[in-house]
Amino acid sequence: MQSPHAARFLDRATPPHIVTLIMLSGLSALAMNIFLPSLPAMVAYFDTEYRLVQLSVAVYLGVNAVLQIFVGPISDKLGRRPVILGGIACFVLATIGCLIAQDIWVFLAFRMTQATIVTALVLSRAVVRDIVPQDQAASMIGYVTMGMAVVPMIGPAIGGVLDEVFGWKANFWLLLLLGIALYWLTWRDLGETAQPSGLTLREQFSEYPELLRSPRFWGYALAAAFSSGAFFSYLGGAPFVGSVVFALEPAELGLYFGAPAIGYLIGNFVSGRFSARVGVNRMVLIGAFINAAGVAASMLVFAAGLGTALSFFGFMCFVGVGNGMTIPNATAGALSVRPRLAGTASGLSGAIMISGGAALSALAGLLLQPGTGAWPLLWIQLLTGICGVVAIGIVIRREGELARKDAL
């Protein structure tokens, strides 16, 4: 394909427009959290227990992580366009199923199927790597993933209003309409960006060991996973810290809770502006350091006895900034280790990030108990932040060693 600068909107003969890529990454995040304010209403509708309805989040994340392992190799074999369109089509049908379900288990089955929209998220990043080189890819991925920063901030708010005015199903009607619109947009704007592999699917999946044996791939993937782990553990522990430790009202908690998302938006903007100039590795290192330093500063404030809701959530902005710088650049790095396996690398690194993040989120929820304060969450975030710095440090060191060998 041509240079991304030659992109013409709704013209499949040119690279996809940045708006299309942002929409592809954003709908997956919206589907995850828009209906959260409706959980109590859904409990009443299905006449079931809260824990079962809450599984609608867990099963979505679980299937999301598993699908990412398979989406990449399939797209490397068949091409990005058919896999993305197929994933969106499955999402639309699954959303219809969620709307007509009368039983909680039927609803959960369709909810699991909704996770096929992850193809749009994973492959939007692979599309970027298909059309531009590594450093420029990091910039574009930064802009693309801005959608994932904005959506978590506004999704539950929109869902709450829709639920209050029209009922819980209104959230899924909105997802249905957006899914149909995204299918049309993708059909019109996204041409094929990858040369389909000549390998069979079995041979395509057998390429995974090549990535798994690459220290650079692991360095980038773990840098993204540990950096995002600080954020995922926040998702699991911050509601407890806000409501129990600081006794915030729900409205106050909702206001404070979006602090990392604001930071993430800033970090994405920085990535978009400076990654091509500064370089992927340095951006990941700076982002991982900001992430860890923000948590460390929060811990020092708590240790001095000055910790407040404002200080706790305020310092979480630095976690968001660090993630916004680390994740796009680490993702671009992981996709560039073996460019011909960009789809496979995108799926595998995404699965590592999501599954690790989900585990850390659960760990934070498990360790936070009345009387512990915010310390278990802060320690988890600090340790994962430090591990992110170490991971990218190993990549930088290895690349330096290879450069010296080539110079000899």
Domain count, the chain: 2
pLDDT for the residue numbered 280: 92
From 156, 184, 206, give the residue that closes a domain: 206
pLDDT for the residue numbered 317: 94
Angle at 338 between CA 332 and CA 339, to 5 degrees: 65
- Are both 122 and 258 inside the same structural domain? no
From 175, 206, 237, give the residue that closes a domain: 206
pLDDT for the residue numbered 7: 67
- Are both 168 and 116 inside the same structural domain? yes
Q: What is the pLDDT of residues 58-85, one digit of tens each?
A: 678 778 888 888 888 888 888 889 999 9
Segments of the chain scoring below 70 in pLDDT: 1-7, 36, 54, 58, 134-135, 146-150, 152-153, 197-201, 204, 250-251, 254, 408
pLDDT for the residue numbered 4: 46
Q: What is the pLDDT of residues 4-57, one digit of tens each?
A: 446 678 888 777 888 898 899 889 888 877 886 787 788 889 998 877 876 777
Angle at 65 between CA 115 and CA 150, to 5 degrees: 65
Amino acid at 87: G
What span, in angstroms and rounded, lies between the C-alpha atoms of 346 and 118? 11
CB 253 within 8 A of CB 242: yes
CATH number at residue 8: 1.20.1250.20
Domain of 328 in residue numbering reads as 208-408
Question: Half-sphere exposure (CA, 13 Å, Cβ side) for 150?
Answer: 13
From 206, 226, 242, give the residue that closes a domain: 206
- Are both 290 and 361 inside the same structural domain? yes
Amino acid at 274: F
List the beta strands (DSSP E) in 209-290. none
- Are both 282 and 294 inside the same structural domain? yes
- Are both 243 and 188 inside the same structural domain? no
- Are both 136 and 269 inside the same structural domain? no
- Are both 166 and 230 inside the same structural domain? no
- Are both 109 and 254 inside the same structural domain? no
- Are both 141 and 62 inside the same structural domain? yes
Q: What is the pLDDT of residues 281-314, one digit of tens each?
A: 999 999 999 999 999 999 999 999 999 999 999 9
- Are both 137 and 52 inside the same structural domain? yes
pLDDT for the residue numbered 291: 96
pLDDT for the residue numbered 254: 67
pLDDT for the residue numbered 3: 46
The label of the residue with tokens 């810290």 reads 241
Q: Residue 269 corresponds to which tokens in the numbers above?
A: 């903007």
Question: Half-sphere exposure (CA, 13 Å, Cβ side) for 379?
Answer: 10
What span, in angstroms and rounded, lies between the C-alpha atoms of 178 and 172? 10
pLDDT for the residue numbered 157: 72
pLDDT for the residue numbered 271: 86
pLDDT for the residue numbered 25: 86
CB 12 within 8 A of CB 138: no
- Are both 217 and 97 inside the same structural domain? no
- Are both 198 and 218 inside the same structural domain? no
